[in-house]
Amino acid sequence: MKIVMVSRIDDEKALEYTRDLGDALLQDENQVCFEPATARALGVDAAWTWDSQSDLVVVVGGDGTILHSVQKMEKQVPVLGINWGEVGFLADLEPGEARAFIKSLRPGFAIEPRMRISLAREGVVLGQALNEALIVTNRPAKMLRFVVVVDGIPAERFRADGLLISTPTGSTAYAMSAGGPIVDPRIEGFLLVPLAPYMLSSRPHLISNERSVEVRLESAKPASLVIDGQKSIELGMEGSIVVTRAARPALFVDAKKNFFRKVDHKLRRL
């Protein structure tokens, strides 16, 4: 297999582990290369770019490193996450498991697609998110006014510090911290979670991805859209964001880790 190695570049031990794992996988008769930032950090030639073909992307890091990798890929390649972070809901393997598991993979190995959301304004796609998009005020301690329109009907009006538009995959990330439910990632829908709403009656909504969903911003304060914590876009004070299911899901190697067992295990670490 052609394997691409990605590492946290702010952690020397993670980089050392990534180099050693790459060497081991090379001995197992794989083609191994490093993505450009990792290659630079390791002082090796970057013979691969994010546009190059590969069979597997192995990411050593936390959820942020995995999200960054997914954002970088125009054409999605199966990702295998090795946890080198705090909790790592997107990383299925611990460092000691990785080499043996990868060695066991055969062509046509099982993958698990994860729905992403696409966000557009006035017909222009602003970006795609695997975890969530956050609409938040640029001015701390100021609230924003939102209207959520479902199938052309205003379904919810509220004021809040911000709004999370999450995927089921992202339900165990920021959305969970904001009081949203844990959602089975096999369910495909949009999870909307208000941040510190003015009225307690403003509750999270899980909406089918088959519905038309639009978020209107009607506020006297400027706001920003933050996508997967990786990309920030100024929205101004008014506007409309159309939320749809992205055409290309993220792809994860099926490591045979039960989602609910994994959540139970990782939450006990917090």
- Could you tell me if 58 and 33 are in contact, meaning their C-beta atoms sit under 8 angstroms apart? no
Please tell me what DSSP assigns to residue 93. Answer: B
Tokens of 142: 């100021």
Q: CA 266, CA 27: separation in Å to the nearest integer?
A: 32
The pair phi, psi for residue 8, each rounded to 5°, is -60, 130
Alpha helices in 97-168 (DSSP H): 98-104
Q: Is 27 helix (H, G, I), strand (E, B) or coil?
A: helix
What six digits make up the tokens of 227?
């996508």
| Amino acid letter, residue 186 | R
Beta bridge partners of 224: 136, 234
In angstroms, the CA 78 to CA 2 distance is 12
Q: Which of 63, 184, 228, 254 is catalytic?
A: 63
Mark 211-242 as b/e (b = at least 16 C-beta within 10 Å).
Answer: eebbbbbebeebbebbbbbbeebebeeebebb
> Is 63 one of the annotated active-site residues of the chain?
yes
What is the distance between the alpha carbons of residues 45 and 34, in angstroms, rounded to a whole number? Answer: 8
- In angstroms, the first-to-last Cα distance of the chain is 36
Planar angle of CA 253, 118, 199, nearest 5 degrees: 110
9, 169, 199, 270 from 184: Cα distances, Å? 31, 8, 28, 20
Active site residues per annotation: 63
